[in-house]
């Protein structure tokens, strides 16, 4: 399989808590992507030659 896109959620916090949410987001969530972690992740993504899109 060729990876052509990556989706990055900067936080799981959301104003709603939908039962069908596949990431289990909601107002009770506190997890966030730190700047340092995001920077390291983007550097790793740059090495994937087939990657064309990054979505935030």
- The parent domain of residue 33 ranges over 5-50
Domain count, the chain: 1
- Across residues 40-54, what is the average pLDDT? 96
* In a domain? residue 29: yes
- Across residues 28-55, what is the average pLDDT? 94
Look up the pTM and report it.
0.70
* In a domain? residue 56: no
CA distance 8 to 6: 7
CA atoms within 13 A on the CB side of 43: 6
pLDDT tens string 12-27: 899 998 999 888 899 9
* In a domain? residue 22: yes
* In a domain? residue 55: no
Q: What is the mean pLDDT of the chain?
A: 92
């Amino acid at each position: 399989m060729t990876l052509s896109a990556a989706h990055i959620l900067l936080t799981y916090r959301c104003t709603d808590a939908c039962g069908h949410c596949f990431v289990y987001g909601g107002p009770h969530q506190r997890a966030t992507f730190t700047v340092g972690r995001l920077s390291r992740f983007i550097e790793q993504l740059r090495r994937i030659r087939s990657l064309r899109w990054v979505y935030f």
